Structures are given as structure tokens and as C-alpha cells.
């Protein structure tokens, strides 16, 4: 997948400026397909040139005009083409796993601290995802269409974080026992 497709999905949900789109990435889609603000602006420019999006300039007092982007017919066609295309399964590349495998070649205590740090980061992200779930999807059984799809992506993130935290707990417990 390219960033272009993540932007098309987001702009199909709601038109927005580059700044608004970047903020949306920071709060939602970026958890699953991260992008910097600079990347988003650069890709928006390319998409505009390719005809996948169109923009309207909105005058602002004391600031440069704001560009409000919408998906064009060509962008909708590209999104439909991409949605029908098979997606390769994700390949896990995890440096933490490699460090754990090599822990006996260095200081296992340092690796343990790194596992604990990762566990804390993933536990924090899990709480963010659960907060989004309770705020945005309080009644999941009633969801359909776009809301259901967004909820299911969020549930995938929650399940992945729960699994990673549980694995970290298992590793931490095992490493602590091994160092006694």
C-alpha cells in the first residue's frame, strides 16, 4: 500500500486541508499507516498533479490561503482499483525479537530493560485504542458500513497490542526467572 491510498481513504471519509489531514493521521489512521506532516503535504501535491484529488482555495485572514482537498472521480477510480487488488500478508520485522534471541551474547539485563520499555509503550497504545473504542464506538453491535469498518480496524489494533503486551509479560517473567 502507498500513502496515497491511505490519504484517499481518509479524504473519502471527509474532505480536509493538508493540516487537517495530518492531524487525522496523528489521531487515527496514522496508528496503522504512519506518515509525517511533510510526507502528507508532498503526497497531496503529487495526487493533485495526478488528478486523484482536487482542491479549493479558501481565503484566511492574516494567513496563506487554505487548500481544501476532495477526492476526484479519478481518485475514486484509483481507490476502487486498489481495494480490489490483493494485499500481501504483513511480514514481521522485529528488532526486539532479534535482540532477545541474541541476549546471551551480551547483557540479558539490558535486553530485559528494553523489553520492559516496549511493554510500557504498547500498554500505553492499548489504552489509547481502548479510549478511542469507548469514545467513538460505545455500541459496536449497532455499527454498519464505514463505522463498522473503522471499528474492525481498531479492534485489530487492540488485539495486536493485547497480544504484544501479553508476550512481553511472558518474556519478562521468563528472563527474571533465568537471572535468579
Distance between CA atoms of 154 and 132, rounded to whole angstroms? 8
**Contact of 47 with 31, CB cutoff 8 Å:** no
54 plus 127 within the same structural domain: no
pLDDT, tens digit, 9 for 90 and up, residues 78-122: 999 999 999 888 877 788 889 998 988 888 899 999 999 999 999
pLDDT, tens digit, 9 for 90 and up, residues 67-86: 999 999 999 999 999 999 99
Q: What pLDDT score does 106 carry?
A: 87
127 plus 65 within the same structural domain: no
pTM of this prediction?
0.81
| Residue-range definition of the domain harbouring residue 150 | 95-179
Split into its structural domains, the chain has a count of 2
Average pLDDT over the chain, rounded to an integer: 91
In this structure, is residue 90 part of a structural domain? no
In this structure, is residue 113 part of a structural domain? yes
Q: What pLDDT score does 180 carry?
A: 64
Nearest one of 51, 83, 88, 85 to 70, comparing CA atoms: 51
Distance between CA atoms of 107 and 86, rounded to whole angstroms? 43
Domain end among 36, 61, 84:
84
Domain end among 50, 84, 118:
84
In this structure, is residue 147 part of a structural domain? yes
Distance between CA atoms of 180 and 177, rounded to whole angstroms? 5
Amino acid at each position: 500500500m502507498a500513502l496515497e491510498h491511505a490519504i484517499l481513504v481518509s479524504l473519502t471519509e471527509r474532505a480536509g486541508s493538508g493540516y487537517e489531514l495530518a492531524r487525522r493521521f496523528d489521531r487515527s489512521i496514522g496508528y496503522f499507516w504512519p506518515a509525517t506532516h511533510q510526507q502528507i503535504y508532498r503526497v497531496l501535491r503529487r495526487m493533485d498533479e495526478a488528478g486523484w484529488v482536487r482542491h479549493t482555495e479558501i481565503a484566511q485572514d492574516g494567513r496563506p490561503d487554505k487548500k481544501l482537498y476532495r477526492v476526484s472521480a479519478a481518485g475514486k477510480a484509483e481507490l476502487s482499483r486498489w481495494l480490489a487488488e490483493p494485499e500481501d500478508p504483513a511480514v514481521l520485522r522485529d528488532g526486539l525479537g532479534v535482540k532477545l534471541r541474541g541476549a546471551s551474547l551480551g547483557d540479558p539485563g539490558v535486553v530485559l530493560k528494553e523489553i520492559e520499555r516496549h511493554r510500557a509503550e504498547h500498554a500505553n497504545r492499548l489504552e489509547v485504542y481502548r479510549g478511542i473504542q469507548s469514545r467513538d464506538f460505545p455500541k459496536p453491535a449497532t455499527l454498519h458500513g464505514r463505522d463498522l469498518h473503522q471499528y474492525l480496524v481498531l479492534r485489530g489494533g487492540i488485539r495486536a497490542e493485547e497480544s504484544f503486551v501479553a508476550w512481553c509479560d511472558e518474556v519478562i517473567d521468563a528472563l527474571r526467572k533465568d537471572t535468579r
